[in-house]
Structure 1
Amino acid sequence: MIQLENVTVIRNGKQLLKNINWTVQKGEHWAILGLNGSGKTSLLNVINGYLYPTSGKVRVLGEEFGKTNIPELRKELGFISSSLKQQLKDYDSVLSIVLSGIFASIGLYEAVERKDLDEARKLMKQLGIKHLENSQYGLLSEGEKQRVLIARALMAKPKILILDEPCNGLDIIAREEFLEFIENLAQQEFCPTLIYVTHHVEEILPCFSHALLLKEGEVYTKGLTKNLLTEESLSQFFGRTVAIQEEQNRTWIAIKS
């Protein structure tokens, strides 16, 4: 699904990523964990073809960058970020925003077919937002907006769905509801490969079988999530002694004084 070989990115004399080696296989869901400035955004921009590596090879869905049509390839990637949320128009209806995912456009400017309407309503029902189809986007809660963005992304039937810190701006109740929604989504047959980016350990759900820990632009470690979220590993990763607690199959951490 994704293969990065010795990927290094240097811009304006600053090294954003260094020798990234990472492979995502079909059937895996990954969490990417890193503090602010660790290179998470740069890594996502490389995968989406917005940032070209200074050296190294990038393959996404079997297509090697530099030898493929990246705009066409992007149609098979769902990318949900805070910048996309801010671009959408508050007065647009939920249904029109979901339908715009077919064309990857901000706003709906083309005619849609009956089958598209049926698919949009089916997705909204599956994601628990069917009752909001005529609501204005700007009147939704942050959690509802995130579900709308996911429905919009799934309209294009992407093979990979990237969630870039999707819980930013959510209160604790909305966050937990959204995370429950993601866990349920991962169990659905129609769910694409998930890449979930966060700097909060407790957001790493049981569905994320694998994790990549990114630090100062480098892969600190990667592998099975259950092997990485330990006190020893996380203490070394954060450079602070931490205590962990397992609750509801999730790992919660606190920094020891």
Structure 2
Amino acid sequence: MILSLRDVSLKRDGTWILQKVDWDVKKGEHWVLFGLNGSGKTAILKMLHAEYFPTAGNVTVLHKEFGKSYLGEELRSKIGFVSSSLQEKLYNSDSAFEIVLSGAFASIGLYKKPTKEIREKAIGLLKDFDCLEYADRQYETLSQGEKQRILIARALMADPSILIFDEPTTGLDFIAREQFLETIEQITYKPNAPTMIYVTHHVEEILPVFNKALLLKKGQVFDIGNTEDMISSQKLSSFLGLPVQVQWENGRPMLNKVVLQK
């Protein structure tokens, strides 16, 4: 078991953000966490990263139960994050290479001297994701797509067991988005690939590799199961509260709103 949430509820500032969430993720599974804005997706991610602790229930991540195990940098380094919000925390004056190197220490900024092995690993990842040509450029000068590739390389530096993509295509145009999704797919071909969780409210971004899905609505699990069953016309119409049609092509879904005749 990679992670387990059992009857988890979370209250913040007097408001219940999550209520009675049950979720198990096993090694070898890749998940979509699907929900609209305000559904509680961010709260779950912060909980997995030990930034939030449950008000009720039990959270176990990589065999460490919150409240009973020491949760330090070692745990956080085993959970890689790729998100647009992470970009805001990074130092724009750092080079792309320095950003990737910092992933080995799970730090914002590079405060330790990387070993030869760490530098070689970073160069290898930059090559893998076609980033080497702009490795010496300042991070702030990169395009949004280039920044996201650098974040993937950074996240993989510590050999994470879990790799979380949090609304990662924000700000990307259609071409850059598809190139980015191809990069994600590449990761699954690597030996000992991490378990991946893709957080989104765009069904068209769901790749075939994401075989499991959790639908989160207003802080509660609406449904959970195989992705093709969850991302279907009937299920999403009920989830969204309006009639929609889902079409699957080449293992990926597309969502169309059904126009009702008056």
1:137-148 aligned within 5 A: 137-148=139-150
Specify whether residues 190 and 93 from structure 1 end up closer, same or farther in structure 2 by C-alpha distance, changes over 3 A only: farther
Correspondent of 2:187 among 185, 188, 198: 185
- TM normalised by structure 1 equals 0.97
SS of structure 1 residue aligned to 2:106:
coil
Paired with 2:134 and 2:193, the residues of 1 have a C-alpha distance of 22
Q: Is the 8 A contact 2:95 2:137 kept in 1?
A: yes
Q: Which amino acid aligns with 2:14?
A: G
1:1-257 aligned within 5 A: 1-71=2-72, 72-257=74-259
Displacement after TM superposition at 1:191 (Å) = 2.3
Displacement after TM superposition at 1:82 (Å) = 2.4
Q: Is the 8 A contact 2:76 2:106 kept in 1?
A: no
Paired with 1:177 and 1:75, the residues of 2 have a C-alpha distance of 26
Paired with 2:32 and 2:136, the residues of 1 have a C-alpha distance of 33
Runs of 4+ with deviation above 6 angstroms: none
In the comparison of the two structures, how many residue pairs are matched? 257
Paired with 1:101 and 1:90, the residues of 2 have a C-alpha distance of 15
Q: Give a deviation string over 1:38-87, Cα, whole Å, max 9, x none.
A: 00001111111111111000000111011112123112111222222112
Unaligned runs of 5+ in 2: none
Paired with 1:105 and 1:64, the residues of 2 have a C-alpha distance of 23
CA RMSD after TM alignment = 1.1
Displacement after TM superposition at 1:136 (Å) = 1.4
Paired with 1:52 and 1:200, the residues of 2 have a C-alpha distance of 28
